[in-house]
Amino acid sequence: MRQLTEEPRAFDVVGFGECSIDEVWVVPSLPPAGKMRALKRDRLGGGQIATAMAACARLGLRAAFCATVGDDPDATELIAGLEDEGVDVAGIQRYARASTRVALLLVDERGDRAVIETARAASLPAPPMLRDRIEAARVVHLDVTEPAYAMLAAHHAREHGTFVSLDIDHPAPGLDDLLPLVDLCIAARGVAEQLTGESHLEAALRALQAKTGGLVGCTLDGDGAALLDDGHLLLSPAFPVDHLVDTTACGDTFRAAFLCALLEAQPPRQALRFANAAAALKCRDIGRRGCPTRAEVNALMAMT
């Protein structure tokens, strides 16, 4: 695994990938069919990479976000929300006659969810400031929404000595070419097994690491998280959640907190625990609204 650069840079982390406006409806249960009365309706910024950058900012990191969005009211709202969180948004490029991604999230009273999303009609060009933002950051955090663009960003990162973090929440075309450029890969539960054909977690993570050469791990929902460190499998249990409202953005918050820990050179086992604490705190509110501050994470860790 390549090491994080120690040279001073303008940003700790820049994110490039998915962003959206999330319409969140809280319902008594996820409906199989028929009509149901919602208990609550809310609207806030979402998307896994944008949310991770908001979480990074709350944890005290200097975060920036790059993306291409529409020139519509949804984009205006999305950008304003990130600015309010302290995320640098100069790398967001707006395009006329394009629409910004919107997602409908149905969240039941147990915190389980279903997501219905809109997709852009066609891929837009990469944002013009992408290379500059990657050069100015110690870490670039990517997803596989558009693997070709993630590949472009990863190549820019290699040119400038920027550490590459990848969030994989589903198998995607082009991953075999992208993975060798990745320094940290944290997959969603079950994805490592899907990508490698291995049915056992440790074997799947080892096979995934062979594709990257970097640090690999996965989130395990309510069971915590796993990480391969120097050939050893580390398992870190989840923190108990006293009042679960919504699990949306828990994985994004975990990844943000893990990057925060890496940037501070925390040992891997401690980094896992820190990230699990942040993810547990996120459950207390809807979407990214629940992302914790550094002080809140420290307080939870000190209590347990």
Q: What residues does each domain of the chain span?
A: 11-18+48-68+126-303
CA distance 299 to 102: 35
* Fold adopted by 11-18+48-68+126-303: UDP-N-acetylmuramoyl-L-alanine:D-glutamate ligase (3.40.1190)
Band (242; pLDDT cuts 50, 70, 90) = confident
Q: Which two tokens stand for residue 302?
A: 């000190």
List, in sequence order, every residue forming a beta bridge with 263; answer none if it has no partner. Answer: none
Q: What is the DSSP string of 71-117?
A: SSHHHHHHHHHHHHTT-EEEEEEEETT----EEEEEEETTS-EEEEE
Q: Residues 165-178: pLDDT tens digits?
A: 999 999 998 899 99
Q: Do the Cβ atoms of 190 and 168 come closer than 8 Å? A: no
33 pLDDT tier (thresholds 50, 70, 90): low
Q: Given this model, what pLDDT does residue 120 score?
A: 58
Whether the pLDDT of residue 32 is over 80: the answer is no
Query: Quick one: which of 154, 186, 174 has its CA closest to 48?
Result: 186
Please state, in angstroms and rounded to a whole number, the distance separating the CA atoms of residues 279 and 224.
Answer: 9
Averaged pLDDT for residues 100-105: 88
Q: Please tell me which residue, 2 or 282, carries the higher pLDDT value.
A: 282
State yes or no: pLDDT of 122 exceeds 60.
no
Instruction: Place 263 in a pLDDT band, splitting at 50, 70 and 90.
Output: very high
Q: Phi, psi (5° rounding) for residue 139?
A: -135, 140
Torsion sign, CA atoms 86, 91, 96, 100? negative
Residue with tokens 């908001």: 54
pTM of this structure: 0.94
Mean pLDDT on 251-258: 98
